[in-house]
Amino acid sequence: MRATIVYPSKKKYLWHAKIIMNLSDMEKRSLVTIADHSREKIEYLIQMAQEFEKHPNRHLLEGKVVATLFFEPSTRTRLSFETAANRLGARVIGFADPKVTSGTKGETLKDTIMMVSNYADIIVMRHYLEGAARYASEIAPVPIVNAGDGANQHPSQTMLDLYTIYQTQGTLDNLDIFLVGDLKYGRTVHSMLNAMYHFNPTFHFIAPEELAMPEMYKQFCRQHGIRYVEHTDFNADVISGADILYMTRVQRERFTDLMEYERVKDRYLLKLDMLSKARPNMKILHPLPRVNEIEYSIDDNPHAYYFEQARNGLYARQALLCDALGITLDEVRKDKSII
């Protein structure tokens, strides 16, 4: 049974509005990092995504132009955003290959953003430089949605992860979340810590020493009263207490010592027999692409949920686009443009 999400009270909303009053209207509608969002706002966006899951095809964004600027290629994220825009009736412009942009001629990011702002109602951007989306949100006269800025933030991935956790567990509160694999460089797991701290989670970090959760994130947990346990072993007993098993890929290129990589690479592979002691509600998530870290025979197991998770990216991104364009949950609920 799903828990009820309480709609943010007017009082809380006014408080939220007050603290962001010093931001420009576009800056506050932009999505740069999930850390900017309160618990209420995250719950609000989950409710909006639920509406889109029920009815993904609408004319809600008819007449709007969405620009997708991918200064760094990312097929999966771009297709998901463009599908979200298309299924809501918006038209999409943009580029998927940075080689075709004026950036190669020496144009600044500011100039590109200002130019595209003349044409589009909203800009979805992925950039290889960290902080690019924050900067764009400060200068652009239209809202910016961050589709990844280097190793820094990837809030739409986090939003779809949260939506999936909510969808499978019926709540975001008091969950045991196990993060496995590359916890040092994986921005999805770092964003997860930032987002989940509103919901009293217990984290388990399972990684080789070389890719352990960095100290600054463990410090973040301690400062915010988030419980965490670290493991280097990965077996049926360790994961038996998980509600969510969030797998990531151990990437060869991250290791300076390739002998070390060879030694640890197969220690973090999830095999079917390791699920024997799993809780019935446990779901396996993965931001994809996977290589071999989840055995293919698990795909048909009821614990596997990574393909559904990827599909949720559509609904989460539909909610993010609408929210950034100033469309409220109430308007989505009363929408008569459902196809």
Partner 1 sequence: MKKQLLVAAIENGTVIDHIPSEKLFAVVNLLHLDQMTSAVTIGYNLESQELGKKSIIKMADKFFTDEELNQLAVICPNLTLCIIRDYEIAEKRTVTLPDELRGIVRCTNPKCITNNEPMHTHFHTIEGQRLRCHYCNTVISLDDVRLVEKA
Q: Per-residue x/- mask for partner 1, residues 7 to 46, rule CB under 8 A? A: ----------------------------------------
**Largest alpha-carbon pair distance within the chain?**
60
What are the Cα distances from residue 304, in Å, to 66, 80, 177, 271, 295?
33, 21, 15, 12, 11
DSSP-based three-state secondary structure for 80 = helix
The burial of 319, by beta-carbon neighbours within 10 Å (0-12 exposed, 13-18 middle, 19 or more buried), is given as buried
Q: How many CA atoms lie less than 13 Å away from 320 in the CB half-sphere? A: 32
Of residues 172 and 193, the one with the C-beta less far from partner 1 = 193
Instruction: Tell me the C-alpha distance between 184 and 209, whole Å.
Output: 9
What is the phi/psi pair of residue 13, to 5°?
Answer: -65, -40
Nearer to partner 1, 79 or 109 (CB): 109
Q: With contacts defined by CB under 8 A, how many residues of the chain interact with partner 1? A: 16
DSSP assignment of 19-60: HTTTS-HHHHHSBS-GGG--HHHHHHHHHHHHHHHH---B-T
String marking each residue 100-129 x if it binds partner 1 according to CB under 8 A: --------xxx----------------xxx
Q: Give me the least distance between CB of 279 and partner 1, in Å please.
A: 34
Q: Is 174 in the site for partner 1 (CB under 8 A)?
A: no
Whether 78 is catalytic is no
Site for partner 1 in 279-318 (CB under 8 A): none
Return the H-helix or E-strand segment holding 195: helix 187-196
Nearest-approach distance from CB 35 to partner 1, in angstroms = 9
CA separation for the pair 184, 250 (Å, rounded): 10
Minimum distance of partner 1 from residue 23's CB (angstroms): 13
Based on the shown chain and the rule CB under 8 A, indicate whether residue 150 belongs to the binding site for partner 1: yes
Judged on CB neighbours under 10 Å (0-12, 13-18, 19+), 95 is middle
Active-site residue, selected from the candidate residues 58, 64, 68, 77: 77
Examine the residue annotation and report whether 126 is marked as an active-site residue of this protein: yes
- Which residue in 131, 141, 170, 326 binds partner 1 (CB under 8 A)? 131
* Cα–Cα distance, 124 to 306 (Å, whole number): 24
Nearest distance, CB of residue 88 and partner 1, angstroms: 30
Residue placing its CB nearer to partner 1 in the complex, 5 or 139: 139
Question: Is 171 an annotated catalytic residue?
Answer: no
Q: Which is nearer to partner 1, 125 or 270 (CB)?
A: 125
Q: Cα(299)–Cα(150) distance, rounded to whole angstroms?
A: 30
Provide the minimum distance between the beta carbon of 6 and partner 1 in the complex, in angstroms, as a whole number. 31
Q: How far is Cα 243 from Cα 229, in angstroms, rounded to an integer?
A: 15
Query: Looking at 152, 156, 157, 312, which residue binds partner 1 (CB under 8 A)?
Result: 152
CB of 206 to partner 1, least distance (A): 25
Residues 214-233 that bind partner 1 (CB under 8 A): 216
Tokens of 190: 């770092």
Reply yes or no on whether 105 is catalytic. Answer: yes
The residues binding partner 1 (CB under 8 A) are: 108-110, 127-132, 134-135, 149-152, 216
Active site residues: 76-77, 105, 126, 154
